[in-house]
Amino acid sequence: MLKEAAALDAADGLAAERARFDLEEDCVYLDGNSLGALPRGVAGRLADVVGREWGRLRIRSWEESGWWTAPERVGDRIGRLVGAAPGQVVAGDSTSVNVFKAVVAAIRLTDTGSRDEVLVDAATFPTDGYIARSAARMTGCRIRAVDAADMAREAGPRTAVALVNHVDYRTGRLHDLPAVTAAVHAAGARTVWDLCHSAGALPVHLDAAGADFAVGCTYKYLNGGPGAPAFLYVRRTLQDRFDSPLPGWNSHADPFAMDPAYAPADGAVRGRVGTPEILSLLALDAALDVWDGVDLEAVRAKSLALTDFFLRCVEAYVPRGRVESVTPEAHGERGSQVSLRCAAGPAGGAGDVMAELIRRGVVGDFRRPDVLRFGFTPLYTRFADAERAARVLGEVLEGTRQR
């Protein structure tokens, strides 16, 4: 497997992108699905923002350095990566806050007299479920949890909105965004897609699919840094009816008029609330430079090749019966991670196994009760990393001493 990994890395058209990240050679980092690696250009950009734009220009930077328009400018850069034409994505706030905006706005766009149901992916990331339940209580709706695979056929005459994770955070299962969107629309309802585990990992085609709303974080595959601002997509044809439940001064048509009456701005600006988080927003802006000129189809092809190769290495190195992949084999149903169910054994439970992997320089993560997650970020993950991770996993599960 070592020779095959070397050959695959030699033929990798994205191999040069790794040099744009701050990564140690002796560490296999497979946790970019939780926190992406640091792009090398971010530190210098932040130093300039702090030292010159804030330190010297101070308040002038809102205009002279473009701080005021940064949420839309950065939003458009993200939009290119999720299949959204300019003017439909705004960067800011957290994923949770943006889920709330999108779900409530989607409900307000429907006839809530007869449509009082919010469909939620039964395996959703917990925050999405918490927010959806709160939004439902506030709008007089009820929550109905269904399997994401059943979402298309479960949408009906009472459905106001369906909140769906594009990629399941536990298993890495990819759901069919175009098909589910079309089915939900056929039922007369709206969609809100959570792209946290797909933005930057694979091509997303929001405009082409006719998606209504989408949200996502930027600290995973987009490498924006811990707590980086999230994003909100509002389809252009809905923007004049987008009634945000959080109408902050930054989304006012004339913010500095300080008018006590709210008048919403046009376009994606309606998705703003308060003062932009400039330091983290401009760190994200710099991080997005690594995507300039990158072909997302090439990213997807490498992602699938990496995860295929890793699974073959696991089969070759790991004692039979010790782990079971819960990530779909079919390419059309797989995101950019591999999740392995790991039964307790001589090396301990799955949490103990991951702790030992990290001690040996292979960084993934653990999800209770028994899942080992390995995220593959094609811009910097090598086939040699996949081979080493599987080999060390095998050694840990066999109880082999570290060499």
- Active site residue ranges: 125, 194, 219-220, 373
> In degrees to the nearest 10, what's the CA dihedral of 122, 123, 125, 127?
30
Is residue 203 within 8 A of residue 83, CB to CB? The reply is: yes
The residue written with tokens 């926190």 in the block is 35
* Concatenated DSSP letters of 204-237: --HHHHT--EEEE-SSSTT---TT---EEEE-GG
Q: Which of 211, 209, 267 is nearest to 239 (CA)?
A: 267
Query: How far is Cα 7 from Cα 265, in angstroms, rounded to an integer?
Result: 54
List, in sequence order, the alpha helices (H) in 88-176: 95-108, 126-139, 151-154
Burial of 207 (0-12, 13-18, 19+ CB in 10 A): middle
What number of other Cβ atoms are within 10 A of residue 25's Cβ? 5
